[in-house]
């Protein structure tokens, strides 16, 4: 009863006035909406989706972003964390979605996603028992590779298209629009204040969009053809199951669960000043897994926690679920209005590239931040170095695996899967050694090289006893 009466934005159960809550909700929408829209646009381009399919992917992405967020804010049974978090379709899946979509198309992605959702649910059920298997050195390496593997997409988009053979690719006009968008985002994020700083990506896109409009680069055909209202229909995009795609998606969904654990923990500590509870962590993973599974039936891509919104909560300490719930409802309404989704698809590639390259860079830096949470021992450096080297090396030279079977190519062709597999395996196999352990090993080696056969260093008393 006390919670229901609270009107404070700093109380999770607080319900401030709508006028007070709306601007705070708008902050979260601005921070994540392009992050939720861009992945389906990228996947649609790679999978060769039609204009109608592209619009549908965007709409369902927005719809399930809202549904997933509401479930986290207002748990149902064991489903949902009951934490002030924003969930939606995230960039972390993009490399794997591209690898699957380029071979099996959108139906192959959605079929694999069903298995991925089940894997998330299983992780949520047993998270307390398996959490130790994903230390920062493993999670950080994976997140680092996610960021690195997305750079070529941003550069291609800034040059004009996801396809290097497209007409006008690399033209000066495309680069002008892309670099202008990037410059505006950078200036707003570093020099602006208030909402302009928070909405740096949106402001950059608006400026880039305006410039590209004057250059005649904006096509409104999709917007004119789109209906006003759309009701999600199951199996509208088709569903196919392919072994290699399923394995790839299961791995990335398990890996992304590690990132979700980090985001939820950061929300609890930074926004609520306490540690994450076991049932909250389990509920968050279970809810995300269910939304990922059900979303696949309707054409929605896998969902994840949004780190940028975690940062907003930690900075403002605004944890009212009513505030974030308004943002979720807006996303659901936007998902039901195809005109909105069609408007998103009119954004030219150079604008998207200029706006997202910073986001990809931030993902990389997040990976580095995770890595340094562990000791930078020789063991941990070896795990990270070898994982990144193999993942990015194969990604740079895809011809190196051209003669392998299709299933192997699907798995090894995704740098994220390579990094996750190598980092996880090495962490399990290599002996656990701290910096102190390695220092003692070097001392032992030095003594052996100097002819000292004692296995352990002696203190003063031991030396005196030996002399006597």
Q: Which residues of the chain have pLDDT under 70?
A: 1-5, 30-31, 34, 162-163, 194-195, 198-199, 308, 341, 406-407, 410, 452-468
Q: What is the pLDDT of residues 142-196, one digit of tens each?
A: 888 888 888 888 898 899 876 677 788 889 999 999 999 999 989 988 888 765 7
pLDDT, residue 359, reads: 74
pLDDT, residue 444, reads: 86
pLDDT, residue 4, reads: 54
**Please, are residues 411 and 417 in contact by the beta-carbon 8 Å criterion?**
yes
User: What backbone phi and psi angles, to 5 degrees, belong to 305?
Assistant: -70, 150
d(CA 133, CA 143): 16
Q: What is the pLDDT of residues 298-311, one digit of tens each?
A: 999 999 888 767 77
pLDDT, residue 462, reads: 40
d(CA 420, CA 412): 11
- Nearest-CA neighbor of 302 among 101, 103, 55? 101
Exposure class string for 332-355: b at 16+ Cβ within 10 A, else e:
bebbbbbbbbbbbbbbbbbbbbbb
pLDDT, residue 419, reads: 87
């Amino acid at each position: 009863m006390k919670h229901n009466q609270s009107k404070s934005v700093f109380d999770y159960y607080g319900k401030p006035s709508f006028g007070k809550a709306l601007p705070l909700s708008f902050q979260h929408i601005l921070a994540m909406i392009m992050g939720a829209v861009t992945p389906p646009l990228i996947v649609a381009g790679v999978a060769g989706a039609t204009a109608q399919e592209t619009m549908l992917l965007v709409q369902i992405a927005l719809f399930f972003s809202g549904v997933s967020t509401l479930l986290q804010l207002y748990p149902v049974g064991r489903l949902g964390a009951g934490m002030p978090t924003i969930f939606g379709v995230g960039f972390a899946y993009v490399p794997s979605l591209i690898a699957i979509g380029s071979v099996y198309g959108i139906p192959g992605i959605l079929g694999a996603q069903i298995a991925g959702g089940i894997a998330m649910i299983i992780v949520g059920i047993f998270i307390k028992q398996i959490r130790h298997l994903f230390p920062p050195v493993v999670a950080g390496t994976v997140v680092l590779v996610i960021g690195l593997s997305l750079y070529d997409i941003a550069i291609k988009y800034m040059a004009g298209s996801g396809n290097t053979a497209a007409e006008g690719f690399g033209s000066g006009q495309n680069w002008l629009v892309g670099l202008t968008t990037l410059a505006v985002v950078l200036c707003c994020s570093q020099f602006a204040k208030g909402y302009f700083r928070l909405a740096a990506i949106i402001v950059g896109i608006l400026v880039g969009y305006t410039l590209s409009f004057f250059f005649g680069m904006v096509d409104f055909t999709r917007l004119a053809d789109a209906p006003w209202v759309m009701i999600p229909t199951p199996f509208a995009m088709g569903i196919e199951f392919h072994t290699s795609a399923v394995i790839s998606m299961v791995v990335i969904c398990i890996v992304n669960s590690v990132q979700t654990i980090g985001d939820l923990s950061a929300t609890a500590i930074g926004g609520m000043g306490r540690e994450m509870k076991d049932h909250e962590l389990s509920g968050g993973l279970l809810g995300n897994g269910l939304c990922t599974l059900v979303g696949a039936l309707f054409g929605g891509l896998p969902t994840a926690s949004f780190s940028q919104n975690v940062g907003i909560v930690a900075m403002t300490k605004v944890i009212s679920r009513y505030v974030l719930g308004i943002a979720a409802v807006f996303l659901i309404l936007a998902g039901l209005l195809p005109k909105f989704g069609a408007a998103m698809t009119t954004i030219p590639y150079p604008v998207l590239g200029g706006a997202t390259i910073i986001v990809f860079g931030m993902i990389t830096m997040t990976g580095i931040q995770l890595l340094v949470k562990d000791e930078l021992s020789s063991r941990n450096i070896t795990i990270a170095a070898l994982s990144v080297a193999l993942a990015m090396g194969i990604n740079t030279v895809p011809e190196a695996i051209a003669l392998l079977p299709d299933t192997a190519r699907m798995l090894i062709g995704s740098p994220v899967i390579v990094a996750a597999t190598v980092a996880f395996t090495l962490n399990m196999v290599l002996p656990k050694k701290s910096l102190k352990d390695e220092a003692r090993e070097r001392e032992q080696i030095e003594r052996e090289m100097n002819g000292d056969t004692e296995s352990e260093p002696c203190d003063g008393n031991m030396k005196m006893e030996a002399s006597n």
